[in-house]
Chains A and B, each alone.
Chain A
Amino acid sequence: MWMGVVMNFLSYLIKGISLGSVYSIIALGYTMVYGIAKMLNFAHGDVIMIGGYIMYIAMSAMGFNPLIAVLIAMVFCTLLGVTIERIAYKPLRSASSLAVLITAIGVSYLLQNLALLIFGADTKSFKSVITLPALKLAGGDLSISGETLITIPLCIIIMIGLQLYVKKSKTGRGMIAVSEDKEAAVLMGVNVNKTIAITFAIGSALAAIASALMFSAYPSLSSTSGAMPGIKAFVAAVFGGIGSIPGAMIGGILLGVIEILSRAYISSQLADAIVFMILIIVLLVKPTGILGKQVQEKV
């Protein structure tokens, strides 16, 4: 009997880590854009939704192989992200952050309604891109789905890869420079426009990967499918300390675990409320998030 309870808990825990990994990958896009371009890209969640639709079309209407579909989605989302940045965010780079936030909200609405117009309001069923069978442990009591088996290691690889890129490569260090002091970075020869464009590109490419993983595990796709995960991922980024890449990973995984455990053990409807409550409590105790940096406000 006890084994059953423990197995249940473990299976929820693993599901939570898996969902959390997806949130981490999405949160990376938010945290990098916030750290470097100093703006909240509200439309990030909807880029994920568009990625999902692109993969859906590539697989069902054009019959592409799942991995090729993911690659197509990555290319498309990257282009989409960079275009949005150039058209909607770059003209407002010197405006107040409220103005950019509202423009981002406008872009989010635009993407949602474009998807609604092009693909219709009915919920599509996504065919999983992962063909790995589930792993059965402990004599069949604990079953880890194929999606989870791929998601968690992939998340760790992406996180390590991104940290290395940002710390070692020239462009990556340029990103850190722009996030610390934009004017000084310009003086040091960093091309700010190119850096911000690359930031958006990386974030959007990662969004496509997250989209593949998420819709494989939770296969219902509609024009509003990206909004809630987007908000939760942003909460995760804030949770872990916005602007920090390891923070995004910690925040995402914690958020996923809390959400799944709340959904299982407390109440399905209150799960979202509990997640948000924990965020508020964390921000009260540590206003810059778990791994966030304390920035002293200067006059």
Chain B
Amino acid sequence: MVINMKANSLKNIKNYAKSKFITVGFIILFYIIGQIMISTGSMSNLMKGLLVPLCYYSIMAVSLNLTVGILGELSLGHAGFMCIGAFSSAFFSKTTIDSIPNTALRFTLAILIGAISAALFGALIGVVVLRLRGDYLAIVTLAFGEIIKNVMNVLYIGKDSRGFHFSTEDSISLGLEEGGTIILGGPRGITGTPRNANFTIAVVLLILTYIIVTNLITSRSGRAIMAIRDNRIAAESVGIHITKYKLLAFAISAGLAGVAGTLYSHNISTLVATQKNFGYNMSIMILVFVVLGGMGNITGSIIAAVILTLLPEYLRFMENYRMLIYAIVLIVMMIFNWNPKCIAWRKKYSIKGFINAQLKKDKKEA
């Protein structure tokens, strides 16, 4: 019996490993196709500009799926972690632009700083938030996302030969002497971040994120996290340390969002925290990617993120109606996926069901 179970779980892991390789293979394939299209000049400028955003939205979707699909907690403030990653890495890059001239080294450090700072905040916020029940957790994560965005908007940091200066009022009260630079200028954000993010690095980070998350899922910690999602009381009674695993998942999810933020901030020239890019609008957009891709389905998140980012761009001719159609499609998909009657209807009319019915009929006649 034990041997059978072992063989079964081994087979499942082998299947999952196979699907992991397939997904990574496809990502690499699309990367190669993309590079070919760029070098032969057959890629439009619109598409070129979308390459890095596709990657960081996918990373965001994968990281949120870790919290929502695997841990089972609804987080509506995920964009806040992206914000932290973006600002901390941009700050680092801008401050060390002269002291670390080697771009590769500096950008790698920036990515690490973005990830670690976001993960730290994730752990801190997690300690506060993860003891709350489902819907309360949603509103508190929303609150944290808004707080982070607001604070980034009022913070001023300047640097001169005497060191760093902080202020929350305006740039003048920083008291910078001649030759000092304002790094973070409140609502004007950080300007002049070196644009180090390119398609290659973005794809590499996406593949790394995918591997990290899927490895976590198939590991012992991942099973503990999913046990917590399925039935917290049962998991606790079996001896799983709830807080530790919740914090682990939350912090990793936040850290990966920080990586996405780093890609974001090094892909634009001016980094500003607005409602649109780091507010709950963004958090909800990523949540839609996760839900439509399938909660718990990592590959699905990447596919959904790519399609739902490309679709509005290519539907620009329907500019006025596209968000409306988006909303209607979302509602219809949700009902189609979750309504018990629809689920029964789908089972009845799916191809598998059809084949099964045929086999049953043949058996009866035989």
Binding site for B on A (CB under 8 A): 34, 40, 88, 91-92, 94-99, 101-103, 105-107, 109-110, 113-114, 116-117, 231, 234-235, 238, 242, 267, 269-270, 272-273, 276-277, 279-280, 283-284, 287, 297, 299
Contacts and interface: CB of A to CB of B under 8 A. Distances in A.
Contacts of B131: 287
B338 A270 contact: no
B22 interface: no
Contacts of A117: 320-321, 324
Interface of B: 68, 74, 128, 131-136, 138-140, 142-144, 146-147, 150-151, 153-154, 168, 187, 233-234, 280, 284, 287-288, 291, 295, 320-321, 323-324, 326-328, 330-331, 334-335, 337-342
Given A235-B139, A284-B128, A287-B136, A92 B330 contact: no
22 contacts: A40-B138, A88-B331, A92-B339, A97-B134, A99-B334, A105-B284, A105-B287, A105-B330, A107-B331, A109-B327, A109-B330, A110-B331, A117-B320, A235-B143, A269-B150, A270-B168, A272-B146, A279-B140, A287-B133, A287-B136, A297-B233, A299-B234
A273 B150 CA distance: 6
Contacts of B339: 91-92, 95
B146 A276 contact: yes
Nearest to A278: B143
Given A91-B339, A106-B327, A269 B233 contact: no
A92 B338 CA distance: 6
Contacts of B330: 102-103, 105-106, 109
A238 B146 contact: no
B120 to A, nearest CB: 18
B338 A101 contact: no
Contacts of A231: 142, 280
A95 B338 contact: yes
Q: Which 8 A-B pairs have the closest CB atoms?
A: A276-B143, A106-B330, A110-B327, A109-B327, A95-B338, A273-B150, A106-B331, A91-B339
Contacts of A101: 74, 135, 138
Contacts of A277: 143, 147
A269 B334 contact: no
Contact of B153 (A102, A107, A269): A269
A270 B154 contact: yes
Contacts, number: 116
Contact of B144 (A92, A110, A276): A276
Given A34-B135, A238-B136, A269-B153, A280 B324 contact: no
Nearest to B133: A287
A280 B134 contact: no
Contacts of B338: 92, 95-96, 99
B334 A92 contact: yes
B55 to A, nearest CB: 24
A272 B134 CA distance: 23
B154 A279 contact: no
Nearest to B295: A98
Nearest to A271: B150
Nearest to A288: B136
B15 to A, nearest CB: 26
Nearest to A108: B327
B308 to A, nearest CB: 13
A277 B125 CA distance: 12
Given A272-B150, A277-B147, A283-B136, 16 more contacts: A92-B335, A94-B340, A97-B134, A98-B74, A99-B334, A105-B287, A105-B288, A106-B328, A106-B330, A106-B331, A109-B326, A113-B324, A269-B154, A279-B143, A280-B143, A284-B128
